[in-house]
Amino acid sequence: MTNPTIAIVQEAPVFLNLSASVEKAITHMEEAAKASANIIVFPETWLPGYPVWLDFAPGAGLWDDPGAKTLFRLLAENSVQLGDDHLARLQESCDRLGTYMVMGAHERIGNTLYNSTLYFMPGAGNPVPHRKLMPTYTEKLVWGWGDGSTLATVDTPWGTLGGLICWEHWMPLARAAMHAKGEAIHIAQWPMVKEMNHVASRHYAFEGRCAVAAAGAVITKADVMAGFHSLAVNAPEAESLLASMPGDDDTQIHTGGSAIIAADGSYIADPVYGRTGLVMGEVDMAKQLEECQALDTDGHYSRPDVFELKVNTRAMPGVTFGED
């Protein structure tokens, strides 16, 4: 049984700039592939950056705030859409490098944005999306709700690859549904991986008897402002809202914390805080299978005679027409 090497890209995107962030992603993919990575992982909404103003800018949640509205527009203008040229560029890189890649992105459908994970497979043609089921707290100001039609996994030579986004890891039924899909490798995307996020990620690995790549970004206030300025737009209200975040240029808004976790909850690659770079580790698949002797939550430890979960995997649009 071969063992996959996972590389987490703990870097900042070119904040709010989709085209520039795609080019930067390809550079990091090439770096990871050169280091013999089989699966390359980016953090939550890395394309083109987690909306940090929701957490740190005073006034971001005020009704009809012109800065928040402008930032939403800029984010919508710099979000991916399935089938677009940006995703095609990333797919071409996966094909060329022969690697699997998991990207966190803002995805636009109509005029609604989603917090999405995109699974790229070499030679597949198009990425497979998962859209976050429940935006957390202030995230509801930016993202809509996903549905069960994108509770996705993909096949790899090392087994099933799946993932959840941020606080989805505290949704017990979402975890149960993903465990039932038989994940061998799970991607846990976070803005940054704080202590409680490590608790959730390590618990997921132990409960699901799978390897977990917990991915977070490192981004400074200077990165945020430089990314905004790279757009070369006249949007003083948006710039002012971003500038209102506390700290100076060197202040780290997100501090990384990426790690790779084994199926027994131990670390394959210890958490890395405060610096950029690749966080890499090799998963021992044989040892992982051995852990299932004591616990298999979708198998001999499941008690289906007592518990039953039904998952609605139909797409749930707001409007359907007769021919649909």
Task: Tell me whether strands 112-120 and 100-109 are parallel, antiparallel or unpaired.
Answer: antiparallel
CA distance 212 to 187: 6
Q: Is 232 exposed, middle or buried (0-12, 13-18, 19+ CB in 10 A)?
A: exposed
For tokens 């941020």, what's the residue? Answer: 166
* Residue 198, CB-side half-sphere exposure with 13 Å CA sphere: 16
Q: Which of 21, 45, 15 is nearest to 165 (CA)?
A: 45
Write the single-letter amino acid at 39: I
Two tokens, residue 91: 């797919």
Q: Which residues are known catalytic residues?
A: 44, 132, 166
Task: Tell me whether strands 39-41 and 100-109 are parallel, antiparallel or unpaired.
Answer: parallel
Two tokens, residue 4: 């996959």
Query: Does the N-terminal peptide bond of residue 48 adopt cis geometry, omega within 30 degrees of 0?
Result: yes
The answer to whether 127 and 253 are in contact (CB under 8 A) is no
